[in-house]
Chains A and B, each alone.
Chain A
Amino acid sequence: MKRLAASLLSLAAFLAAWKLLTVVTGTPAYILPAPEVVGERAVRAIGSGILWVHVWATLSEVVLGFALGAVTAAAIGVALGKSVLIERVLSPYIVAAQAVPILALAPLLDIWFGGGLLARVLVCALIVFFPIAIATMVGIRSADPLLGEMLRSLGATPAQVTTRLEIPSALPVLFGGLRVGVTLAVIGAVVAEWVSASTGLGVLINIADQGLFDTPLMFVALAALGIIGLTFYSLVVLLERRLIQTA
């Protein structure tokens, strides 16, 4: 209750500061619209159904891309953590792929995968992959070798050592990677939409900016992106609390 009040209070303070800034500086609405102008624009965009179309497109990319990227990254992260040889062989490619800016890779993926949803999902998956794979690898290696010996003394198979010890040991670090990854997925979606898409919040920002000079609509799209990121981040934290009881 107290935490909810604190959150609402900080939101109110943020909006008040924003409003104050527009009043004091007298900035025109096409540069910095006041909060109530953005609010009114949001109501109209929701009412006409236009916002939902774009939110839905971005949401699907984020969800599918994050799921694909996280599952692949966790599986490869387990392999990297368990085998120094696999890490030696794969890590140059993984690091190189991460070092090339996603903005430069997105057009290539667009050409390869036909400019549809699949290409955009892959951009999200790619940007999500690195932090989760590395976190999983580090987490797997954090498993206590004494507990591993204990499991072997009980006749555990190597697969059981992974499922019963290494993966549970990796969870706290893995969730650190998931928290970073889920926010990156939103960035990946916008980047991919920027390259090629007809719907999505990235597209909406472009339309509002170049076609309509509708700055309040741009703010609506930005707020929607922030809310999507925050929502998924909170879902990850919630899942983390459910899965990890021991601090």
Chain B
Amino acid sequence: MTTAASSHGAATREIDTAGLAVSAEDISVSFAVHDGRPIALQRCSLSVAAGSFTVIIGPNGCGKSTLLRAIAGLLQPDGGRVLIGGGAASTSPPRPGDARVGIAFQQPRLLPWLTTLENVALPLSLHGVPPAERLTRASAALDRVGLADAAHLHQRELSGGMAQRAGLARALITDPPVLLLDEPFSALDALTREAFDSELQNLWLERPRTVILVTHSVPEAVRLADQVAVMTARPGSVARLLTVDLPRPRDVRIGADSRAAETDAAIRATLASVKPPELAPWTSSS
């Protein structure tokens, strides 16, 4: 650990305590389908401190995205509750379209008939922000994610990575205190993804807020998280919470750090233990 990196991280966090605490308490969600009601989440609890970076990791179909949608207020849990707030702010459950929460989806979900700039400005135009201010703020948001040159392109002219960055810029433009990211860089190759992780970490260090990111990548979790929540297979709940106390900014070589390696091993061990039998690797000797 270098002292310089450590103090940089600490200083930034002290100056700006933006972000709101998020707590999910005993969330249960099931979906109505033709052959019954499979349970996506069962008594799932997660507590996230204001301004912290939480990574959710877990097997396929364990309800990670469902948990994010419940936190965003996009679905009403059958049981339990989500609360957002804390500190000076009053605490309340999220409503659909809650201004306190921004979400970037796994697919960027851009409107194909709008330019990148118009897509990024969409949250502002929905809330009646005047065009001049929309333009300024959307341009700034595009700048932050390195898409200034793509402002007037349509989705069909963007690469997968550019579209995902546009989705991120759209989530950032209203400067929400809670930012939810559902595998935002899943479509990218490993190297580009590492670069995006760095950009994301920098954005967060510049302006800390509560971030909850869903991923399948263990190195990404170790690199970005203050806290890693490992989820069980469906029906999902949080099997284990791991604190990652490493200096920031962390670069890709953080994996070489012994404590990072320990965390990495602990995440993998937990993931292996929560895998349902039918998902066990076919090379398994057992």
Contacts A146-B105, A155-B97, A155-B126 known; list 5 others, CB within 8 Å. A150-B105, A152-B97, A160-B126, A245-B154, A246-B156
Q: How far is the CB of B109 from chain A (nearest CB, A)?
A: 4
Query: Which single residue of chain B is at the shortest CB-CB distance from A245?
Result: B113
Q: Is A164 an interface residue (CB 8 A)?
A: yes
Main SS class of interface, B? loop
10 inter-chain pairs at a CB distance below 8 angstroms, sorted by A residue, are A147-B111, A149-B74, A151-B126, A154-B170, A155-B123, A155-B126, A156-B126, A164-B111, A164-B122, A246-B112
Give the residue among A150, A151, A168 with the most B Cβ atoms within 10 A: A150
Q: How far is the CB of B179 from chain A (nearest CB, A)?
A: 12
Interface residues of A in 214-247 (CB under 8 A from B): 244-246
CB-defined contacts of A164 to chain B, threshold 8 Å: 111, 122, 126
Q: How far is the CB of B71 from chain A (nearest CB, A)?
A: 11
Task: Give per-residue flags for A129-160: 1 if the beta carbon is below 8 A from chain B beta carbons, else 0.
Answer: 00000000000000000110111111110001
B111 touches A153 (CB 8 A): no
A156 touches B113 (CB 8 A): no
CB-defined contacts of B113 to chain A, threshold 8 Å: 168, 244-246
Q: Is B198 an interface residue (CB 8 A)?
A: no
Query: Which single residue of chain B is at the shortest CB-CB distance from A153?
Result: B103
CA distance A156 to B128 in the complex (A): 11
Q: Is A165 an interface residue (CB 8 A)?
A: yes
A150 touches B109 (CB 8 A): yes
Q: Is B38 an interface residue (CB 8 A)?
A: no
CB-defined contacts of B122 to chain A, threshold 8 Å: 154, 164
Q: Is B145 an interface residue (CB 8 A)?
A: no
Give the residue among A149, A153, A165, A245 with the most B Cβ atoms within 10 A: A153
Q: Is B96 an interface residue (CB 8 A)?
A: yes
When A160-B126, A245-B154, A246-B154 are in contact, do A153 and B96 touch as well, CB less than 8 Å?
Answer: yes
CA distance A30 to B123 in the complex (A): 68
B107 touches A154 (CB 8 A): no
Q: Is B4 an interface residue (CB 8 A)?
A: no
Q: Is B127 an interface residue (CB 8 A)?
A: yes
B97 touches A156 (CB 8 A): yes
B97's contact among A147, A154, A245, by CB below 8 Å, is which? A154
B111 touches A168 (CB 8 A): yes
Give the residue among A150, A151, A154, A164 with the most B Cβ atoms within 10 A: A154
Query: Which single residue of chain A is at the shortest CB-CB distance from B122?
Result: A154
A154 touches B126 (CB 8 A): yes
When A146-B105, A146-B107, A246-B154 are in contact, do A153 and B126 touch as well, CB less than 8 Å?
Answer: no
Task: Give per-residue flags for B100-126: 1 if the beta carbon is below 8 A from chain A beta carbons, else 0.
Answer: 010101010101110000000011001
Q: Which residues of B contact A (CB under 8 A)?
A: 72, 74, 96-99, 101, 103, 105, 107, 109, 111-113, 122-123, 126-127, 154-156, 170
Query: Which single residue of chain A is at the shortest CB-CB distance from B109?
Result: A150
What's the tally of chain A residues with a CB closer than 8 Å to chain B? Answer: 17
Q: How far is the CB of B84 from chain A (nearest CB, A)?
A: 14
A165 touches B74 (CB 8 A): no
Give the residue among B103, B111, B122 with the most A Cβ atoms within 10 A: B111
CA distance A160 to B111 in the complex (A): 13
CA distance A102 to B155 in the complex (A): 45
CB-defined contacts of B97 to chain A, threshold 8 Å: 152-156
CA distance A150 to B103 in the complex (A): 8
List 5 tightest A-B contacts by C-beta distance, closest first: A155-B97, A150-B109, A154-B123, A246-B112, A153-B103
CA distance A244 to B112 in the complex (A): 10
Q: How far is the CB of B115 from chain A (nearest CB, A)?
A: 10
When A164-B126, A246-B156 are in contact, do A152 and B96 touch as well, CB less than 8 Å?
Answer: yes
Q: How far is the CB of A24 from chain B (nearest CB, A)?
A: 54
Query: Which single residue of chain B is at the shortest CB-CB distance from A144?
Result: B109
CB-defined contacts of A149 to chain B, threshold 8 Å: 74, 109
A155 touches B109 (CB 8 A): no
CA distance A175 to B74 in the complex (A): 33
CA distance A131 to B34 in the complex (A): 34
CA distance A165 to B110 in the complex (A): 11
When A150-B105, A152-B97, A156-B97 are in contact, do A165 and B111 touch as well, CB less than 8 Å?
Answer: yes
CA distance A151 to B122 in the complex (A): 9
Q: How far is the CB of A173 from chain B (nearest CB, A)?
A: 14
CB-defined contacts of A156 to chain B, threshold 8 Å: 97, 126
Query: Which single residue of chain B is at the shortest CB-CB distance from A154?
Result: B123
CB-defined contacts of A146 to chain B, threshold 8 Å: 105, 107, 109
CA distance A165 to B122 in the complex (A): 12
Query: Which single residue of chain A is at the shortest CB-CB distance from B75?
Result: A149
Give the residue among B113, B122, B127, B155 with the most A Cβ atoms within 10 A: B113
Query: Which single residue of chain B is at the shortest CB-CB distance from A243?
Result: B113
